[in-house]
């Protein structure tokens, strides 16, 4: 059996690495295609070597375009790869333009599609990711869901009546955290670099366009982070694009701003922080895996089970709500519940299902 895996961003490579290891272990051939959607300077040879991630067989180098142009270009180039490779399955992850392009290219060539992280919904159609998720799910043959909530979403949309297999595998992100957690302790120097050993700090990230492209929302969030920093040190790895936007709109940020960090460094920051404030989807779950309360700087989340579990609060961009939730978080205790995201064997279940399909 030959699998072509379509990836477009560093987080997808980390998730896919868990499945790639299992594919190799089970003797299945995998061809990895990197669309180039998100250029990431950390994805050097060291990144692939340290994380034991297979290097892509194809790099399409498609980035920096508007959504339509990017997706169209990817569709064209992925189709060329699939015509050459003739795989038994195409596997896609998550909700990027690369995800949708890979699924579309495959299904138009009558190649079955397997979607990892299927069934997620924010119910916000203004998010490009939401559109990508819904369309990819609809044309996929196997839907690998990370949670029961994701399966419930698909059932509510009538997927049980479609010609597809729906399976709750647990979350590949948990597989990744469990695999890399100990290795990060040996490799990461982030605590020494920023003198964080034995210090209390909150970890924040801020990158979603709904926040960074909206000066009103961004100013409100920054004002909250500045006030939090007066009591508890805030560590904020900040993308240069967001930094430039802050400067252009003269929005003061009085926290410990550091350069964007790699995966191992992020795991170490999560392990040692007191609290997480983020607009990232993935970091909400990783905070939970490390037993840290998370305040989500968005108006909704795909990971509603974390809210129900009282491990996550949705604060949006309102300064007062963020500050209130920080105070409430001091009295929260987060306990990991394996019923939410599985037990770290998602990759095994995915590969076993592919072999039986």
Catalytically annotated residues: 207
- Taken in order 174, 176, 181, 184, the sign of the CA dihedral is negative
Q: How many other CB atoms are there within 10 angstroms of residue 130's CB atom?
A: 18
d(CA 70, CA 352): 33
* Nearest residue to 101 via CA among 54, 124, 67: 67
User: 309 with 337: CB under 8 angstroms?
Assistant: yes
d(CA 199, CA 193): 13
Residue 42, CB half-sphere, CA atoms under 13 Å: how many? 17
């Amino acid at each position: 059996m030959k699998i072509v895996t379509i990836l477009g961003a560093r987080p997808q490579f980390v998730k896919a690495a868990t499945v790639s290891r299992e594919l190799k272990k089970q003797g299945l051939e995998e061809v990895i295609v990197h669309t180039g959607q998100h250029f990431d300077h950390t994805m050097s040879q060291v990144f692939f070597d340290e994380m034991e991630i297979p290097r892509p067989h194809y790099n399409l180098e498609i980035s920096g375009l508007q959504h339509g142009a990017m997706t169209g270009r990817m569709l064209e180039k992925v189709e060329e790869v699939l015509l050459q490779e003739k795989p038994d399955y195409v596997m896609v992850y998550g909700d990027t333009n690369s995800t949708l392009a890979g699924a579309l290219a495959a299904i138009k060539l009558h190649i079955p599609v397997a979607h990892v992280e299927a069934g997620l919904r924010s119910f916000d159609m203004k998010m490009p990711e939401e559109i990508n998720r819904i369309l990819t799910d609809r044309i996929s043959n196997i839907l690998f869901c990370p949670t029961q909530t994701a399966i419930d979403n698909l059932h509510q949309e009538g997927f049980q009546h479609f010609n597809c297999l729906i399976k709750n595998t647990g979350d590949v992100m948990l597989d990744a955290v469990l695999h890399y957690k100990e290795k990060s302790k040996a490799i990461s120097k982030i605590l020494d670099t920023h003198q964080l050993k034995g210090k209390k700090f909150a970890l924040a990230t801020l990158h979603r366009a709904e926040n960074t492209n909206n000066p009103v929302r961004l100013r409100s969030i920054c004002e909250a982070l500045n006030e939090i920093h007066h009591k508890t040190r805030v560590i904020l790895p900040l993308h240069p694009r967001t930094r430039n936007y802050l400067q252009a709109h003269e929005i003061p940020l009085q926290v410990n701003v550091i350069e964007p960090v790699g995966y191992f460094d992020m795991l170490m920051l999560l392990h040692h922080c007191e609290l997480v404030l983020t607009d990232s989807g993935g970091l909400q779950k990783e905070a939970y895996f490390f037993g840290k309360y998370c305040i989500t700087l968005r108006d909704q989340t795909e990971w509603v089970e974390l809210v129900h579990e009282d491990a996550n609060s949705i604060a949006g961009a309102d300064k007062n709500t963020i500050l209130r939730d920080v105070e409430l978080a001091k009295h929260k205790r987060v306990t990991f519940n394996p019923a939410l995201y599985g037990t770290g064997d998602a990759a095994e279940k995915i590969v076993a299902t592919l072999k039986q399909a």
